[in-house]
Structure 1
């Protein structure tokens, strides 16, 4: 039974990771070229919140109960988009610092990458 649940959860995760639009967008934004678009991508949370609000209005007016699942998914995706903006800034700062270090090491001939004991001549 546990094996069946485990396998099902893996397959559901694979499906969501591969085919859901918010996950595809976030995967594209996590690349080096996409990190600069993290803050504007936060605006993608607005349509998700609007759909969640619309679905809750439908539920309140006697709509089907399965719309609760749509509301949950929309709110989760809105949170992902909203939180990715600040995270992308942190990731971008780290990447630029790493690139700057690598550029300095290339310009100095790579001596900065060696430990102190390896640079000294005995």
Structure 2
């Protein structure tokens, strides 16, 4: 009797453990190659133009899937555009990040002001 209860308890604990370890891939965000692109950016493995092209292609896939871009995606893409001197695309991506994540507004506004200030200096 005690052994059968111990077995039942072991099965119950194992089941709880297995359920807790299950990770779902169904998230509200679609990441595509975002993390890899950020890593390559900081390592200097790809030029800003190559990263922009890769991230823009991933952005189209994300939009086609109907999922949302993850936090920071459009801001990073905007910074890549800014590094290439494409300030219209920079501003558009920063604004899109700000619209999607209102909590980022102060930082996104700071970036917009910084790039405008740098543009005036040149």
TM-score between both structures, scaled by the size of structure 1: 0.32
Q: Which has the higher helix share?
A: 1
Greater relative CO, 1 or 2 (CA 8 Å, sep 6+): 1
